[in-house]
Amino acid sequence: MEPKRLRIGSRESLLAVAQTRLVIEQLKANYPELSFELVTLKTTGDKILNKTLDKIGGKGLFVKELDQALLDGRIDMAVHSMKDLPMEISDDLPVAAVPKRGDPRDVLVLPSSGDFEEFGQVIGSSSARRVLQVRRLFPEAEFQSIRGNIHTRLRKLDKGQYSSLIMAAAGLKRAGLKERISRYFSVEEMLPAAGQGTLCVQVRKDFDQSLFSCIHDRETELVTEAERSFVRALDGGCSSPIAAYAEITGSDLCLTGLYYNAADNTGRKMSITGKAQDAGGLGRRLAEQIQE
């Protein structure tokens, strides 16, 4: 029997809520008889803003409180950005659906005043993956860490603390801030984080996951599986300088991975193509090849 009301958990940031509402709208379209209650929680990752994520335990800190709310029965499902999920997901809290992927690209954001002609002088980003790649495009630039939600970052930019920011296209678009995008980086210029632009629905293992089949996108599931399998095989957390992007053409999947070895400060970029149904295996094989 289907529930009459779903309690949906989300981080309390405006972007997280906007993304969760996108999922709610998709569910409403398929289940008009259901009611939905949005439950927001502040996560540890949202509270600690004076340190980079790799110093405080990685992006799994953005899901801990929602995980506990699921286990406690305070919510029935949680909506996350896929790239915020730890690479190892508990069997008790499976991913029940992966909606169609949004824009996976990274973008350059300039101040709203547009006064900075030399926009590369101080670039704000807390992502080692982004910094290592964009440094090739703007070799004279200085890079400074920046934390906070999407609106906090933009306020810091507009106040002159940075001359530009590197951000995710999907987040800006979902927050209704598409007009702030000054330049899109192609995936060839800057390989995205595994799962970037993808949302997911997480539930308790005893919850009827078939309820979410109507919003699940199989192609997005496969490319995400390939990307995350690559990162997982390299023992990389969400803050590691590792990138992965997969695309499906017909029945084939092409996965490109980027791996930086911190020990000698070198990076390798490689691709592999195979059957899409073997997405996880392709990710593991590419990880093996890139370390040879």
In degrees rounded to 5, what are phi and psi of residue 2? Answer: -75, 145
Helix (H, G, I), strand (E, B) or coil at 104: coil
> Known catalytic residues?
84
CA distance 164 to 185: 14
CA distance 106 to 184: 6
CA distance 239 to 241: 7
Token code pair at residue 287: 């990880």
Angle between helices 14-30 and 150-158 (to 10 degrees): 140
CA distance 97 to 255: 22
Q: CB–CB of 247/218 below 8 Å?
A: no
CA distance 155 to 143: 18
Amino acid letter at 52? T
CA distance 11 to 16: 6
CA distance 193 to 35: 34
CA distance 239 to 208: 32
